[in-house]
Structure 1
Amino acid sequence: MISALISRIKTGTFTLVFDDFKQITKVGLSLSVVFSSLAGYLLGANTISYNILILLAFGGYCMVGASNAFNQVIERDLDALMKRTQNRPIPSGRMSVQTALIIAVVFTIVGIAALYIVNPKTAMFGGISIFLYTSVYTPLKTRTPLSVFVGAFPGAIPFMLGWVAATNDFGIEAGVLFMIQFFWQFPHFWAIGWVLYDDYKKAGFNLLPTGKRDKATALQIIMYTFWMMIVAVIPVTGLTGALKLSVVSAIIISIFGLVMMLYAFRLYHRRDNIAARQLMLASVLYITVIQIIYVIDKFV
């Protein structure tokens, strides 16, 4: 009976520790980055190496996990002020700053090492991503809405990172993949900033381009959504080197883009949290679906 009780306590403790580990590394976000990287790899690879896939997935997860852990160490006092983040491991007191830093440093070293085995360029872009996210984007979040522009650079790396991992080259193909995810981030994160405007305000974060939930912000969301749609179908022109896209796939991608644009216009007219949340969800669906379409288009 006693041994069973001890076992339950250990199991419960492990579950709590594992939950905190998932929160400090933001497992959902990290897995989405891994998905984007693997999609980029499949687009660039002539022959698929499962060893490279594993290293890319592992290194990509570590890269994002390290960035998020550093971010939560830096913003621990601000996280304590916001409802959505006050129960994170550090502000809640369940994890010490030292432990979080150890996780961040270990993930940085191990992640870059894994990506370096893939090839040095992949490791370089992984290191740049961590640096920009933690040392530039994070400090700017309380200073200027331009932080979203800065954060869009590390956020746009994963899709093209896979291509670089497959080809050991950064050319027009990787550049286009980068630009697709770069422009996508503005409507996505401004929609999040709209929904969480009041909570962000408690910590001094102002991520919206005009600083307000107004028509000007919604108009910029529409503009960036438009450019995202254009860049996403450029490969159909045949001007993007080895990165190709069929007419049928370009049409399907455009339809999904128009759906996202519809929600952007809905936000412009309604300017409420419901419309912003719908746009946010539509943006997640869009980036996931078009990456799948790109991969299917190559192999079918």
Structure 2
Amino acid sequence: MDSVAISETKTSMNTLLSDLKQLTKVGLSLSVVFSSVAGYLLAVDIINYTTLLLLALGGFFMVGASNAFNQIIEKDTDAIMLRTQNRPLPTNRMSVNFAMAIAILFTILGISILYSINPKTALFGAISIFLYTCAYTPLKSVTPLAVFVGAIPGAIPFMLGWVAATDHFGIEAGFLFMIQFFWQFPHFWAIGWLQFEEYKKAGFNMLPMNTKDKGAVKQIIFYTFIMILVSIAPVLKVSGNFYIYPATAVIVALLGIIMLYYAVQLHKSEKNTDARKLMLSSVLYITVVQIIYVVDKFLH
């Protein structure tokens, strides 16, 4: 009997852990931590590992909190969509009160840890949670402009690393913010294209003008182009202490052109397969570009 009870406890603990991972979207949280660590490394000459650890932890809790609040608000719409209907809240594996307790705990932990680095970092962390939860999430069912609002908290992590390192928001942090800001549009609209029917069921407006057509892809192409220009601009030394070598700018531009290529293909075909390639190339782009910037910096 004891062994049965033990195995049941183990199973329920595993379920709880898996549900917590889903509630806080651990994978997404880790990619955000990656961005903020890259931003930090770009700003420092000597790495302070304590600050780096605090930034990673604070950033992780901050994104986890945003995701938990988001799932509390969208519990009913999550139940409608195939992609989200097995989440812990729509299936009632987790109560809203428990999820709310986790969200609040993560908010307090995230902002407190970021505050221990410096108050500016905590402020941007708090702005990020607030905009994601109180502006982006409710706007999704109202207007396609929600993506613009959502791009602001989405672009904060890269810049957050710089602010954590320097206690200063200047042109460098502004550039890091812009790179990730403009990147979000092709990325999110590619997802919006793939999930268009599902989002429509839930009443979400995630494509420009809420239409799945060539007009939407024209916007994707436009923002991809702007993203490439902003990403290579540091080669002109217009972004303060954040600049890159010409060879680096060429590599970054080529990565951007891969995205542009898939965006043009999507414009021609309007097929989900091309939208998926665009989405995957956008994930590759933001990850590799951040690594390239850091490598470039340590070659200076």
What is the TM-score of this pair, normalised by structure 1?
Answer: 0.98
* Deviation readout 1:173-231 (Å, 9 max, x if unpaired): 00000000000000000000000001111110011002111010000000000000000
Corresponding residue for residue 285 of structure 2? 286
Shift of 1:115: 0.1
Corresponding residue for residue 206 of structure 2? 207
Corresponding residue for residue 77 of structure 1? 76
In structure 1, give the amino acid aligned to 2:144: P
Q: Does 1:99 align with 2:98?
A: yes
Secondary structure, in 3 states, of the residue corresponding to 2:208? coil
**CA distance in structure 1 between the partners assigned to 2:246 and 2:7 by the alignment:** 57
* Deviation readout 1:238-280 (Å, 9 max, x if unpaired): 1211101011111100110001100000110010111111100
Corresponding residue for residue 263 of structure 2? 264
In structure 1, give the amino acid aligned to 2:263: A
Paired residues for 1:1-300 under 5 Å: 2-300=1-299
Shift of 1:46: 2.1
Equivalent residues, number? 299
Secondary structure, in 3 states, of the residue corresponding to 1:170? coil
In structure 2, give the amino acid aligned to 1:253: V
* Deviation readout 1:33-79 (Å, 9 max, x if unpaired): 00000000000112111111111011001000000100111111111
Shift of 1:144: 0.2
In structure 2, give the amino acid aligned to 1:162: G
Mean alpha-carbon deviation: is it higher for 4-13 or for 103-112? Answer: 4-13
In structure 2, give the amino acid aligned to 1:190: W
Shift of 1:7: 2.8
In structure 2, give the amino acid aligned to 1:270: S
**CA distance in structure 2 between the partners assigned to 1:267 and 1:178 by the alignment:** 27
Shift of 1:4: 3.3
**CA distance in structure 2 between the partners assigned to 1:148 and 1:79 by the alignment:** 18
Q: CA RMSD in A?
A: 0.8
What is the TM-score of this pair, normalised by structure 2?
Answer: 0.98
Shift of 1:11: 1.8
Secondary structure, in 3 states, of the residue corresponding to 1:80? helix
In structure 1, give the amino acid aligned to 2:11: G
**CA distance in structure 1 between the partners assigned to 2:8 and 2:55 by the alignment:** 36
- State the percentage of identical aligned residues: 61
**CA distance in structure 1 between the partners assigned to 2:140 and 2:183 by the alignment:** 19
In structure 2, give the amino acid aligned to 1:172: I
**CA distance in structure 1 between the partners assigned to 2:46 and 2:4 by the alignment:** 52
Secondary structure, in 3 states, of the residue corresponding to 1:86? coil
**CA distance in structure 2 between the partners assigned to 1:134 and 1:53 by the alignment:** 26
